Structure 1
Amino acid sequence: MSSLLISDLHLHPGAPAITDGFLAWLEGRAQGAEALYILGDFFEAWIGDDLMDLGEADPTGNAALAWRVAGALRARSEAGTAIYLMHGNRDFLLGERFAREAGACLLPDPSVVTLGDERVLLMHGDSLCTRDEAYMAFRAQARDPAWQARILAMPITERLALARQLRDQSGEANSNKAEDIMDVTPGEVLTALRQHGVTTLIHGHTHRPAVHPLELDGTPARRFVLGDWQPNRGWEIEIAPGQAPVLRDFALSG
């Protein structure tokens, strides 16, 4: 049985084709998979698990989306596929309640897991982008439990407004940054591999799908980068016992 890895779906009510495509993929391509790893930015924004309490009263449609996706994941989990969720830079407030409703397990970033016949380092990838100093400062703040507690104590309407503000600010800031600043720092990749004692890294975040051969202290290594999902296309990595990881894109059907 194989394991599947995906990242950067950025699910939100304004992109129904991606949601429909993911749910079709979950019922089809992912059927029979031993495990599914979602490496962050599963949702475009996540303001806290209590959003789910709004149900149909949520005018933004985010609560309905959350329940729909959680139900589909739980069905896949109950069919025998282990589901793992990792936080991204967009959905770092994703919590235990959503994971429980989805039949999933929250996975720390970074994590080393055994896939196929190999220990593999899994990350969202944003922590590797150390040349983007402004983002790294925000990341440190956003991962601070005290800061998160203050945000979660705000009324939901204020959190929704904050999420929109942060998304707009991020888009504007990124448009003015050099491309290489928003990519991973090569030295950080090697440091991460060395620290965790592995030669394979899989991450998302950068939206630059590729397989990068590396050399780590004289030993061959590799970095797999997952792509972001679009209304007509998704990306996955499949790892089966005795086989090398395969990065592929595919057409979405809703």
Structure 2
Amino acid sequence: MILFIADLHLCPEEPAITAGFLRFLAGTAREAQALYILGDLFEAWIGDDDPQPLHQEIASAINELVACGVPCYFIHGNRDFLLGKRFARKSGMTLLPEEKVLDLYGRRILILHGDTLCTDDAGYQAFRKKVHQPWLQWVFLALPLFIRKRVAARMRAGSKAANSSKSLAIMDVNQQAVIDALTRHQVQWMIHGHTHRPAIHPLEANGQQAFRCVLGAWHTQGSMIKVTPEDVELIPFDF
């Protein structure tokens, strides 16, 4: 089986979620052939040089999973898009591009974080385009750590305020953007996170039935998608 998770938003203020993730890595994840983390593993990321103890704890736990023979792959989310090669080396994770097609048990599956599908949210897409510019990321990461913390806190507060005035529909995926992505990659399956609306949605793409599988966020329980030769299942579970 292959497992997918996303949107844990790990942070020191939510120790129960961290504890649940550590139990998952030491238990269920070790039965998998591979684990894919589709972004927003952390609530925020201001650089691989941040000495936050939580980051070291998570890196060690993922590294232990990889050492047990379960490869771990990571696609950046909108919260941790600055997570870099240094942390990847520490944790043993393999960094993937923002869109990746997997061939699993005869199914071709497109995996991504999901924020690029929310095209109705023009404000967010403009912000995303800006902060993904390599030169701007280089400048930000060159700043002293204490300044980066202040900037990140201000940006999170601004994002929370902006989202409070947006409709839920605007912050969800655009159906045409989904179909376009499936068509572009010539696949009938998609797995993503970001929207925090766990479900498996049937639709039509490439002239055939297709499926969009959405992972849930780890708020009060865990969420994973399990892909086996027989099925694709969305599974909520207790921490």
TM-score, L = length of structure 2: 0.98
State how 1:1-254 maps to structure 2 within 5 Å.
2-51=1-50, 54=51, 63-230=52-219, 232-240=220-228, 242-252=229-239
Cα distance in 1 between the residues matched to 2:169 and 2:7: 19
SS of match in other structure, 1:182: coil
1:40-95 deviation line (CA, Å, top 9, x unaligned): 000000001011xx3xxxxxxxx100000000000000000010011000000000
Cα distance in 2 between the residues matched to 1:115 and 1:18: 29
Are the counterparts in 2 of residues 6 and 237 from structure 1 also a CA contact under 8 Å?
yes
Change (3 A) 1:32 1:217: closer
Q: Which one is further off, 110-119 or 20-29?
A: 110-119
Amino acid at match of 2:236: D
Number of equivalenced pairs: 239
SS of match in other structure, 1:168: helix
Are the counterparts in 2 of residues 32 and 80 from structure 1 also a CA contact under 8 Å?
no
Cα distance in 1 between the residues matched to 2:89 and 2:106: 29
Amino acid at match of 1:170: S
Are the counterparts in 2 of residues 125 and 205 from structure 1 also a CA contact under 8 Å?
yes
Moved over 2 A (4+): none
TM-superposed deviation, 1:217: 3.6
1:205-248 deviation line (CA, Å, top 9, x unaligned): 00000110011142000100000001x301000011x2221001
Cα distance in 1 between the residues matched to 2:233 and 2:39: 19
TM-superposed deviation, 1:117: 2.2
Cα distance in 2 between the residues matched to 1:143 and 1:84: 20
Change (3 A) 1:186 1:213: same
Amino acid at match of 1:115: L
Q: CA RMSD in A?
A: 0.8
Are the counterparts in 2 of residues 73 and 83 from structure 1 also a CA contact under 8 Å?
yes
Amino acid at match of 1:98: F
Are the counterparts in 2 of residues 7 and 40 from structure 1 also a CA contact under 8 Å?
yes
Amino acid at match of 1:212: H
